[in-house]
Structure 1
Amino acid sequence: MDTGHLVRVYDTLHFIEQHYHRLISIKELEQVSHYSYRNIQRIFKYTCGETIGAYQQRLKVENAYKMILYTRETLSSIALEVGFANVASFSKAFRQHFGMAPSEARERKLPLLARAEIVPLETEERLIPEIIYVPPVTVYYQSAFIDYNHAAVEELWEQLMAHQFTAPGTEFYGVVADEPLIRESLACRYDACASRQAEKGVLPSKTIPAGRYACFMHYGSYETIEETYGKIYAGWILETRLEFAPTPIIEKYIKHPDNTTAVEEQETAIWLPLQ
């Protein structure tokens, strides 16, 4: 698929992510994609592996599951917030996707964390975040469904950096759009992003949403970032009274191989979105 077609698909993906909780009209999809409704449906399914309707429904139930895990909102409030008319329709869709009722998902929260080997850490190992406010950030990106590991992420970054970013002050981000805990496989949607448009080729753009984030720092090679995530999920996140938003986790690459030669000097900020 050429770059122009891919940009249109990405624009459609981003639009659905922003408006998944409401009815999206045919006219809106045609305007954002610049295709007829029939064509964008066909191209979207070919590119993303599912229909637009299936993708929107999946966003609803997966974001609902995140809220079940990380907030204290009632199931009825969650159902309305993600776009279901009532708890009955929410429960039916949730059961079809996850094989259990939303109430069961809430009851299984601790067993789910335990199965992922997320168990409470000793006090001295726990990380304490800085609570920050982040303004909206426009980024230019490439996206993929990949195994969230160093090799797969590195390959996507190599593809992005081939477009060349030489503008001074360009910042780089990773957007982790899916929650690995609630997916049957470890394949997650990951976006490799730059804050400036590339010199070679035209990349699609999107906005990292403004809001409050819990900011944790990872020091050293990206290969070991899962160790930091483990400490976050097994420490502070189990005890905090703050509630998390269903928007993506953001990684900001402050010091990376392109601007430091020492592995021990590399720095990655991990932003967990807050309600």
Structure 2
Amino acid sequence: MDLNALADFNLVATHGGFGRASRASRRSKATLSRRVAELEEQLGVRLIERGSKGLELTEAGQRLQERTEGPLQEVGDALTAAREGSDQVAGRLRVAAPVLFAQLAMGRLAADFRRLYPAVTLDVVAEDRLADLVDEQFDVALRPNPRPDSALVGRCFATDRLVVVAAPTVARPEPGDGPVRVDAVVNGWRDGETWQLADGGPTIEPVPVLRLSSMLMLRDAALAGAGIARVPRSIVGAQLARGELVQWGAIDGPAVELWVLHTSRRLASPKVKAFVDFMASRYPDGTLTLPG
């Protein structure tokens, strides 16, 4: 099979037509059309339907694109590395990050990373869903407590803990024989839920007074004295240091681990290795801290 013809097919499929592919690659539409036709003849199947409404991939064309787009990119990366030097950190780096971490940290981190590696263009997408790194062409993903996945490898670069905090004006009740009932601002609430504090601390029975959909809203409501809140310590560290909030205790249980992950289907490129090392270097003690 002619890999150049396969690359041209993926170029046309990615851009959704011969015209757009021609403009993007600065090659003639006739050449691209001929190469795709040659590939169809070699395979004995129709890959693209050329109708009055534009280009559409056939089922065979969709399967071929899905299975070859990533490997062809790897070949291109390998050729670039061989041509320009295997240690060069350059190119586009596409990163998927959870919304809260992205909002509080990724702007500064992205700027610092590019200062170190000016030949890299960062593309950071903030979403809480689990992106498919291969299908959506992400180079790396940042995820809390990722499930074991043989298709992904990476490194835990920081840990965080859920803590219970309140404004200094909120009176802390004396512990009794049973759960301690306290007004609370909550999200993802389940009736009958209790919070067990670590290190022998009391069990708290939150009494929901506000139900909010984001951790930053919980933090701000706690700052305003609405009640206690259970939030990641990373987002209240500055407020605790300034005395604007008081930590009642950490939630009993394992720490939250934040990982930087990349696909194991390909050798990590220099830009991916550089980003993984960079993220670990920003949290040398392994504790997640975020700007206040």
TM over 0.5: no
Question: TM-score normalized by structure 1?
Answer: 0.25
Q: Select the structure of larger CA radius of gyration.
A: 2
Question: What is the TM-score normalised by the length of structure 2?
Answer: 0.24
